[in-house]
Amino acid sequence: QKEVEQNSGPLSVPEGAIASLNCTYSDRVSQSFFWYRQYSGKSPELIMSIYSNGDKEDGRFTAQLNKASQYVSLLIRDSQPSDSATYLCAVKWGSNYKLTFGKGTLLTVNP
């Protein structure tokens, strides 16, 4: 059973701080990793994807992947109240086009 684990939170940070969201996965045969943002009552929205070890930056978002440690993280710099949402980590396994999702981490950014 492939598993994706996230700290459910809630994670609370002040406005302007760096929010760090973490995700671990159980199977080394993993190709691609995704971070989705989900506002309350809305559908998941893709914000970052990564498949190589190291960092990938997109604006205020940085995804970090360490395949040896089976760990992927999302950093949000200069956090804004509009970043308050649940962040879902998802993993694509091998050549299979299915994703396995973690339960999500609730982030609250306080003004």
Contact positions vs another protein (CB under 8 A): 4, 8, 31-32, 34, 42-46, 49, 51, 88, 90, 92, 97-99, 101-104
- The pair of three-digit structure tokens given for residue 64, joined into one six-digit string: 């970090």
Q: The dihedral of CA 98, 103, 106, 107: what is its sign? A: negative
Nearer to another protein, 17 or 71 (CB): 71
Distance of closest approach, residue 41 Cβ to another protein, in angstroms: 9
Shortest Cβ 5–another protein spacing (Å): 10
- The candidate with the shortest Cα–Cα distance to 80, out of 111, 42, 102, is 111
Nearest distance from C-beta of residue 111 to another protein, angstroms = 25
Residues 6+ apart with CB under 8 A from 41: none
Which residue number, 55 or 78, has a Cβ lying nearer to another protein? Answer: 55
Please check whether residue 63 is in contact with residue 74, taking contact to mean a CB–CB distance below 8 angstroms: yes
Tally the residues of the chain.
111
The CB-of-77 to another protein minimum distance in angstroms stands at 23
Q: Report the residue number, 44 or 76, with the smaller CB distance to another protein.
A: 44
83 three-state secondary structure: helix
Q: Which of residues 19 and 44 has its CB atom nearest to another protein in the complex?
A: 44
